[in-house]
Every structure is written in C-alpha cells, then in structure tokens.
Amino acid sequence: MNKFKYDLAVIGLGYVGLPLAIEAANSNLKVVGYDVNDSVINNLKQSISHVEDISDDVLADSLKKDLKFTDKSDVLGESEYIVISVPTPLTDYQPDLSYVETASRSIAENLKNDQVIILESTTYPGTTLEIVQPILEKISNLKAGEDFLLGYSPERIDPGNGEWTFKNTPKIVSGINKTSLEKISKFYKSIIDEVVEVSGTREAEMVKLIENTYRQVNIAMVNELAILSNMLDIDIWEVVEAAKTKPFGFQSFRPGPGVGGHCIPIDPKYLSFKTRQIGQPVRFVELAQEINNSMPNYVVARISELMNKNEILLKNSKILILGVAYKKDIGDTRESPALDIIESLLEKSVDLSFYDPHVDELLVNKNTISKKKDLENLSAYDLILIHTPHSEFHEINFETVTSLIFDSTGSFEISNAERI
C-alpha cells in the first residue's frame, strides 16, 4: 500500500505542468497540482483553464477524477512523485533558475524518505546535479539516491499540435543513479506511450537543447538563403519545394520573419551560457541566433522597399498585420517576431493595426496596438503583412485585395503578393 496521500504532485501549472497533471489524473493516479499563483489555483478549481491546449471541458472532466489544486506547499510532503515544471526564463540574457531554486527549497522543506523528484523545466546541462540536488540535500538532511530519488526529464510540449500530444510523444527520462532511473521510468510508462531512457541527467538536459538548437540553426540557414535568393532574383520557395523531393539526406525548413515561442529562441542561449563557462563558445549556434534575430528588421526593410517601389511613403501609412502569435493556430505571443516588427514600424510612425483570431489584445513597449474586429475591407490599408499563417487566413480571397501584400511566411499562393 502506498504510504503517500498522492501519487504525483506537479509544481507549476503552466503549459507543461497542467497537461501533465491532467494526463496523470486520466491515468487513474491521485494527483495534486501546486502553484504559488492563487488566482490560477482558484480558476482551475472552477474549471477555468489558462492553458490554450487544455479546454475548460477537459479540465472539468479531469476534476471529476482524483485531481486537486492548491497553493499550499505542505502537499509536497504527501506525494510519492514530485515534478518541477516551473519557468526558466532569461533575465539580462542570463539563465534565470530562481523558480527552480524556489521550487527545490519548497520540496526540501517537506521532503521525506522514498520520494522521487523529477525536474522537467528546460535548463542547461548540470542543473539537476549542481543546483537542485544540493538544495534538496542541504535543507532536508537527506541523501539523494539513497533516502530520496532524483532525475531529469525534458518537456516536449508543442502547443497547438494535435498530432503529437503529451501522451504519444516519446519521453526522455534519466536519474542520478540506477534506482532513480528505474522508478522515474516506471512512473512515466504509466502515463505515456513510449519512454526513452538515457544514462544520466546531463545527457537528458542536453537532449532538449540539441533538439531546439538544431531547429534554430537550420531555420537560420534557410533564412540567410532566402535573403541571398532575393538579392539574386531566385524564388527560394520554389527551391525549397524542389529540394524536398530528394528522399534522403534533406529535411525541409522554411524561411520566415524570425523565431518565437518559449523554446527555439531561448534554449540555444542556455547552451551558449554553459559552453562559455568552460571557455568554449558555440560560435555556429550564436551566429544562427544573430541571423534569426535580424529577420524582423529584414521584414521591415522589405516592406519599406515594396512601398517605395509603389510610391507609398512608409511614414503615416496604414499597415495591417495578420497574425501576431509566434506560430499558427495558437494565441501565444512570447518572443514572437511580430513584436520586434511592430516596434520598428512604430518608430517609423506607421499607423498600425493587427488581426489575430487567437489574440485579444497586444501591448508593445507600453503601446496598445489597435485590433481590427474582422477581416472586412482589407483594401483600406496601404499594406497587409502576413506574419502568422493561421488556418482562418486561408479562407481569405487575397486576389481581390487591392492593398500591397507581403507574406513573410510563404504559406499563401497570392499572385499579387511578395514573399520573404
């Protein structure tokens, strides 16, 4: 018989922690979700979800099972497994592990023998052993690997992806010793279809960074080729589509206005931080970051060039941005290239509006950007910038729009538009 009240406690109920808590509850585990934000807890108790991929109905159904939410940290001592899924942002371009450290201290103050602690937050290699383990041991006076078990398992949530979900995406797991690995692997096998074991926590921490650094580098390459192709009067989109026909040795990446979200712009910087600690900067990765970070300015330059060619002044012109989220069919604007594009256009005194079916309001540098209520009368603008290829936009007949159109996504076949 389990001596703990709960099978699982999840610390941090954002886009990672909440799906985990719900999936575990749906797998008939006794689950408690813990968050220091009492308003989040109160809403969750009332079946009001703040995570876009989790509907209120899904949350309500899960609450009918053995799932509870609380802002009281004493529950951390009542759960066999504890998963840390708190934010790990960058502050002044440096990894900010303060949330991880706070969560670790809260666990340590309640830690008991035989508990299993798992870090899921994205971070640099060494965090589990160098940050989390010392905090847990110092405060609790317990020994990791003996009195309690410890490991790392990187989150692989892809917001808005209906094909690859929390349950069917293979799960990387690790432990600080064999016993930790076995227990952690057993836990995830009870809620996820496929579990992949790696030899240690550093390796697991590195997996997540490699996955998103790979994407960052390849997106940067195709972005630079898009810039070069435009200068050479070559259609980069035709080139990419033709290259995709090779059945081996090539994976397609698409140029665009930059990279956004919680992973691709952030994770490679964790890698850069760690490698610079050992005196070995990852120059290739940092160059890729530089290229992708420059793309919003490139978009603005292309817009200016297009308007000049049509004898329209950029200053005081009316521009509508279609989509401001960082990816299609979600409402997340974190690190979205649209924010940098908007900031640059505002500096040039452009009359800006946006339309995004998933974003209700937008604030850029304390400026509230006007939201267009619908997709009527698009020809009233001097230029339309397509930033995010939401599914809804494919229903627009752009051929009837008389405004200039710049498609920074390359996702639309529009005869009267320029593409990046």
Angle of helix 201-231 relative to helix 267-277, nearest 10 degrees, comes to 110
310, 222, 205, 102: CA torsion to nearest 10? -10
The pair of structure tokens assigned to 405 is: 């159109």
Cα 75 from chain centre: 28
Please provide the DSSP assignment of 287-302 as one string: HHHHHHHHHHHHHHHH
Active site residue 44: no
| Annotated catalytic residue within 40, 219, 263, 384 | 263
Residue 149, beta-bridge partner list:
116
Please provide the DSSP assignment of 91-144 as one string: ETTEE--HHHHHHHHHHHTT--TT-EEEE-S---TTHIIIIIHHHHHHHH---B
Angle of helix 201-231 relative to helix 283-309, nearest 10 degrees, comes to 30
SS3 of residue 219 by DSSP: helix
Residues with a known catalytic role: 263
